[in-house]
């Protein structure tokens, strides 16, 4: 760097990427700023500048000065190799400007500290990093050591986990080709080991989130749901709280959507195809993302599902990765799950895709139904995704019955979800209960109950040639 380049840099004045000090007499404060630059966007630290007048005066630099600088830099952890430039100041005999450049922090690197204390740089000031931010960066750098999801759940044992939920998840993984067929013959303990959900023979918190059906000490495993009247929270028609593991909450959320969103149908070819105001696959993806990526270490919040006259909002207590914003989240990006262990299990069991493709699939699903694209909002309590209805003036968003084209002598009353199941069987042919549950993002028990009702009322029957307990629609339906 030349003296002219120093002058040009100084004219920009102090900001998020530039820190000016009069001399190395402020070396300690300078290292606080160096740590802040390393934990923020990076930038320059200069000694030999009068901060108020921005005059480049330099200072005398001796061997002792250089040793002091080297000693100060050694207080930064993790250790860093910093190139220090000494730029001569014209017409000032022996005076030099001390220039250091620091690279910025990137997601996945541990946070820097100076003598054990972390700093960061919001705009032009240097501040001590909040504990929450520091812990989040530690977790991102070494999730296996610091992540809440990977801590041993001391209050729980393997017997508190639902063997049925675990086996259902494994079957999904085998069927999707992401787990070997041999996994079906493993014991519950061996399956948990295979999914990296055990430590020292005890379940970790991720196992509790995914499979526990005897919750005692994890109040954050809750989903708040409400159907509000109008477009604000002043009055509601229905308000519910669900508690349980990931799959229980997903089932409860999707059932609430089927209860309070309109069911629409149209004939394509010889088949009647039905969907909700918001595409089922988009709602399911949004709920999965909210439950997977929420900040579980915080027990004060919960995932929420709010349905208004003009929109659906799904919010989770957490934050977007630092390089992802509501403006660029729809662009192609790498997957950076907040809870990588939970996300890894959901990927292996086909409930979640990798490579950050979930947002794109929600956008595509909404475009295909000719409704507005969903968008994200960062709020004080977390992150929300918002789905808006196509036309709030011409369509009522309260729950209404959609009559199915059945024979007039059929007196059975079908729920919206049962109509969707029937529509799936009409258009896709014979399907198993597990397959239908996976498509709708619901629990197997709920789907089996609906299938029994449809069979008992003459809508469907077992496919006689199937070896997988598949169902087909009776001709009269």
Give per-10-residue mean pLDDT for the chain (477 aa). Answer: 92 86 95 96 94 90 96 96 95 92 90 96 91 86 84 92 94 94 94 95 95 85 94 91 94 93 66 75 94 87 93 91 80 80 94 78 90 90 90 43 40 74 77 80 77 82 64 66
Which pLDDT score is estimated for 436? 84
**Residue 358: CB partners within 8 Å, gap ≥ 6?**
285, 288, 289, 352
CA count, 13 A, side-chain hemisphere, 45: 30
Q: Measure the CA–CA gap between 349 and 175, rounded to whole angstroms.
A: 9
Which pLDDT score is estimated for 400? 39
| 33 in Cβ contact with 126 (< 8 Å) | yes
Name the pairing type of β-strands 222-228 and 303-307.
parallel
Nearest-10 crossing angle of helices 246-260, 280-293: 150
Rounded (10°) CA dihedral 47, 53, 56, 62: -40
| 105 in Cβ contact with 16 (< 8 Å) | no
Q: Is the pTM of this model over 0.75?
A: no
CB atoms within 10 A of CB 143: 18
In whole angstroms, how far apart are CA 387 and each of 283, 301, 362? 9, 22, 10
| 142 phi and psi angles, rounded to 5 deg | -140, 70
Rounded (10°) CA dihedral 203, 207, 212, 218: 90
| 55 in Cβ contact with 11 (< 8 Å) | no
Which pLDDT score is estimated for 124? 84
Which pLDDT score is estimated for 397? 40
Which pLDDT score is estimated for 303? 95
Rounded (10°) CA dihedral 15, 18, 21, 26: 100
Domains of the chain by start residue, with CATH: 3-141 (3.30.950.30), 142-400 (3.30.565.60), 416-473 (1.10.10.10)
């Amino acid at each position: 760097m030349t003296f002219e380049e120093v002058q040009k840099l100084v004219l920009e004045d102090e900001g998020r990427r530039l820190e000016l000090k009069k001399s190395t007499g402020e070396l300690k404060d300078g290292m606080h700023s160096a740590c802040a630059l390393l934990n923020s966007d990076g930038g320059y630290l200069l000694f030999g500048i009068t901060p108020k007048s921005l005059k480049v005066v330099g200072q005398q630099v001796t061997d002792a000065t250089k040793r002091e600088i080297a000693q100060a830099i050694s207080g930064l952890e993790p250790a860093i190799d910093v190139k220090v430039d000494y730029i001569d100041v014209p017409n000032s005999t022996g005076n030099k400007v001390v220039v250091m450049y620091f690279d910025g922090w990137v997601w996945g690197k541990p946070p820097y500290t100076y003598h054990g204390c972390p700093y960061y740089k919001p705009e032009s000031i240097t501040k001590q990093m909040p504990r929450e931010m520091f812990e989040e960066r530690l977790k991102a750098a070494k999730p296996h050591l610091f992540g809440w999801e990977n801590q041993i759940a001391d209050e729980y044992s393997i017997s508190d986990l639902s063997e049925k939920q675990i086996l259902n998840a494994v079957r999904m993984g085998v069927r999707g080709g992401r787990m070997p067929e041999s996994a079906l013959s493993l014991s519950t303990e061996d399956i948990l080991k295979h999914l990296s959900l055990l430590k020292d023979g005890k379940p970790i918190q991720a196992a509790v989130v995914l499979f526990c059906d005897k919750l005692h000490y994890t109040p954050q495993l809750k989903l708040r749901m409400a159907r509000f009247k109008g477009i604000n929270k002043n009055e509601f028609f229905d308000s519910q709280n669900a508690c349980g593991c990931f799959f229980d909450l997903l089932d409860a959320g999707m059932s609430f959507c089927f209860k309070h969103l309109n069911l629409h149908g149209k004939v394509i070819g010889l088949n009647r195809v039905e969907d909700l105001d918001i595409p089922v696959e988009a709602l399911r993806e949004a709920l999965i993302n909210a439950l997977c990526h929420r900040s579980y270490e915080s027990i004060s919040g919960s995932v929420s599902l709010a349905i208004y006259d003009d929109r659906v909002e799904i919010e989770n207590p957490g934050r977007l990765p630092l390089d992802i914003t509501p403006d660029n989240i729809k662009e192609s990006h790498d997957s950076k799950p907040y809870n990588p262990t939970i996300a890894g299990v959901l990927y292996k069991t086909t409930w979640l895709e990798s490579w950050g493709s979930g947002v794109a699939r929600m956008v595509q699903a909404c475009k295909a139904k000719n409704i507005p694209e969903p968008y994200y909002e960062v709020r004080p309590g977390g992150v929300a995704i918002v789905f808006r209805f196509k036309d709030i003036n011409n369509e009522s968003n309260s729950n209404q019955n959609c009559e199915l084209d059945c024979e007039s002598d059929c007196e059975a009353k079908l729920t919206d979800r049962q109509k969707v199941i029937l529509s799936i069987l009409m258009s896709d042919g014979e399907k198993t209960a597990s397959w239908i549950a996976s498509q709708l993002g619901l629990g197997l028990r709920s789907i089996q109950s609906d299938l029994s009702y449809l069979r008992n009322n003459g809508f469907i029957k077992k496919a006689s040639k199937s070896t997988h307990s598949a169902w087909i629609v009776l001709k009269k339906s």
